[in-house]
Amino acid sequence: MHTLAESSVERMFTKSVSYEGSVLRVGDESYDINSYSRVFVVAIGKASHTMVQALSERIGAGVGITGIACGPVLPDAQVFGFRYYKGGHPIPTPIQ
């Protein structure tokens, strides 16, 4: 049970992702968001929506980050600026 609590997306983001001023830090890497004309995020897997939510909460509104999230189910509510796709693996889920 302890391992599951330690492996949550929110816990990982708390430890490894921060945003201050215009600098996004992910692990040991830092990115000045203002130095890019466009920032596009790709999130894939069961936790794709959770990761997009966590990133959005840290960065806040108005930064202009967009992207896609692809997971096995579509969430009830989506993060603004992101397109959502339903998909699975190892064989892609057919479009219905």
Residue 96 lies in a domain: no
Structure tokens at 83: 């397109």
Residue type at position 23:
V
Can you give the pLDDT at residue 4? Answer: 63
In a domain, 94, yes or no: no
> Does residue 15 lie in a domain region?
yes
Q: Is the pLDDT of residue 23 over 70?
A: yes
Residue at 85: amino acid letter: Y
Angle between helices 9-16 and 48-59 (to 10 degrees): 40
Residue 5: band (very low, low, confident or very high) from pLDDT cuts 50, 70, 90: low
Residues 6+ apart with CB under 8 A from 59: 19, 24, 33, 65
In the chain, count of helices (H) and strands (E)? 3, 6
What is the tens place of the pLDDT at every residue in 55-89? 999 988 778 889 999 999 999 999 999 999 988 77
Number of domains comprising the chain:
1
Residue 18: which domain range? Answer: 2-86
Does any domain span residue 50? yes
